[in-house]
Amino acid sequence: MTTKSTAEPIFFDEIQKSFGPVRALWPTTLKVAAGEFLTLLGPSGSGKTTLLNIAAGYLEPDSGRMRIGGRDVTALPPRQRNIGMVFQNYALFPHMNVVDNVAYGLRVRNIAAAEIARRVADALTMVKLEGFERRSVQQLSGGQQQRVALARAMVIEPDLLLMDEPLGALDRQLRKHVQLEIRRLHTSSRRTTIYVTHDQEEALVMSDRIAIMSEGRLEQIGTPVELYRSPKNIFVATFLGESNLLPVTIGERSPQQVSFRIAGVDASWTMAAHESVPRGTAAMLLVRPEDLQLAGPQEDGIAARIVEVVYLGELTAVRAELAGGREVWLRRMKLPTVHVGETARIRWEPASARLLETVEKT
């Protein structure tokens, strides 16, 4: 499909929104780079759909500004923003066939018939629906309908493509397939895209960057690797991926290293001091399941009782209980043979762990 050679950056400047006494979106500042695929990730009520609807023009913010490139679009209605929108329920016209659904946005813009035919053909080739032109959309599978919705959104060559839980109605296997299709389409078109989901795996697979939201606040934004390896708080650590969180007390520290004692376990560890948690603070130590190991005969470790062993095909997961009752999960491709009820020792490389201060929101 022929697309414009440029993509537009998107700017949200101190955008906020309330519905009566409920603060749906606290002041939020965010830049989406030109051609970037940004996912808004969070649980229900986190504010992600509110922000998307403000971007689309379906909601007007209480305060703040929004720009698409150099245009201030804060007060513009949706039809004047040149956006493409893909909904969870597809929002296709059931009385129209595939071609007419895809062509609809071009016809209301009074594009010439020959240009409409060319762009619709290109769009259907892009989503691999050649030969379906005259098919009723009611005769299509869920995955095919979603591709029609994508083609309809992209055929108008939008400055901004918005997707609101677009794969929510698909089964798990089909979701995985369409995730990769959407990623492929984005790679070829580099259309600036904001995508809303509550599915962690979906966000990790598809995004250039992820903005994690909670209770109307932007908690952290970064690449999937940055957020997974270096979450800034407990919410981000637990919402994105599986986490082992161990309560610790911070001991001696220097600019380079920090020591701590793990609550309930008579052990002291030292790790690189990349966090600013002060001495004496009660904190949480984050260790991902794939970073925990069973200690070898010559290695230091913490005693743990094996509670459960789960075979997952290419991986084995082990649930272990530390002194004091805290449980952790190990998940690795290769683990020494262990049995439920026996005692083992667990360890991790200090560089793979992260200290998170337990600070309440105000």
DSSP per position, 221-240: EE-HHHHHHS-SSHHHHHHS
How would you classify residue 241: left for phi > 0, otherwise alpha for psi between -120 and 50, otherwise beta?
left
Say how far apart CA 135 and CA 156 lie, in whole Å: 21
pLDDT for 2 equals 44
CB atoms inside a 10 Å sphere around CB 294 = 20
pLDDT tens, residue by residue, 42-53:
999 999 999 999
CB atoms inside a 10 Å sphere around CB 27 = 18
pLDDT tens, residue by residue, 186-232:
888 888 999 999 989 899 999 999 999 999 999 999 999 999 999 99
Say how far apart CA 125 and CA 147 lie, in whole Å: 11
Written as six digits, the tokens of 291 are 């970073």
* pLDDT of 169 strictly over 90: no
Say how far apart CA 58 and CA 52 lie, in whole Å: 9
Helices (H), 46-198: 48-56, 98-108, 113-126, 142-154, 172-189
Q: What are phi and psi of 174, to 5 degrees?
A: -70, -35
Confidence tier at 175 by pLDDT (50, 70, 90): confident
Mean pLDDT of the chain: 87
pLDDT tens, residue by residue, 334-348:
888 889 999 999 988
Which residue bears the tokens 């290695």? Answer: 299
What is the percentage of the chain residues whose pLDDT exceeds 70?
92
* pLDDT of 113 strictly over 60: yes
Written as six digits, the tokens of 141 are 């599978």
Q: Which residue from 108, 102, 116 is spatially nearest to 146, judged by alpha carbons?
A: 102
pLDDT for 336 equals 82
SS3 275: coil
- Give yes or no for a contact between 240 and 210, defined as CB atoms under 8 angstroms apart: yes
Cα three-residue angle 180-312-233, rounded to 5 degrees: 65
Amino acid present at 294: L
- Give yes or no for a contact between 356 and 237, defined as CB atoms under 8 angstroms apart: yes
* pLDDT of 31 strictly over 80: yes
**How far lies 64's CA from each of 20, 26, 39, 56, 249, in Å?**
18, 11, 21, 15, 41
Amino acid present at 19: F
Say how far apart CA 130 and CA 140 lie, in whole Å: 13
CB atoms inside a 10 Å sphere around CB 141 = 10
Say how far apart CA 355 and CA 45 lie, in whole Å: 28
pLDDT for 362 equals 40
Distance of alpha carbon 135 from its chain centroid, rounded? 34
Around 6, how many Cα atoms within 13 Å sit in the side-chain half-sphere? 4
Which residue bears the tokens 């380079």? Answer: 256
Its pTM stands at 0.85
* pLDDT of 1 strictly over 60: no
What is the percentage of the chain residues whose pLDDT exceeds 90?
48
Pairing of strands 10-19, 63-68: antiparallel
* pLDDT of 5 strictly over 60: no
User: Please, which contacts does 101-110 make with residues 24 or more away whose CB atoms are closer than 8 Å?
Assistant: 101/137, 101/148, 101/152, 102/148, 102/151, 102/152, 102/155, 103/155, 104/152, 105/152, 105/155, 105/156, 106/155, 106/156, 109/156
pLDDT tens, residue by residue, 240-282:
989 999 988 887 777 667 777 786 666 666 666 556 667 777 8
